[in-house]
Amino acid sequence: MAQAVLAAEYTTGSKTRLPTLDITRIENGARTYLEQHDVIGKREARAVAKALGATPWNF
């Protein structure tokens, strides 16, 4: 059985939305969204991911 991975997925912002960091659990290829954080940029996203023990997945 596969080990579950806690992943941090970064989404860029736009003029009206801040960049976001989604924390997901990936198990057997299925993603379960756990929480979402508004961040300033990738630097802050990496710090939040590290503090939560999540692996940066797409940044």
Q: CA 5 → CA 9, 10, 37, 40, distances in Å? A: 12, 16, 18, 25
Q: What is the pTM of this model?
A: 0.88
Q: What is the mean pLDDT of the segment spanning 2-31?
A: 95
| Residue 14 confidence (pLDDT) above 90 | yes
Output the average pLDDT for the chain.
Answer: 95
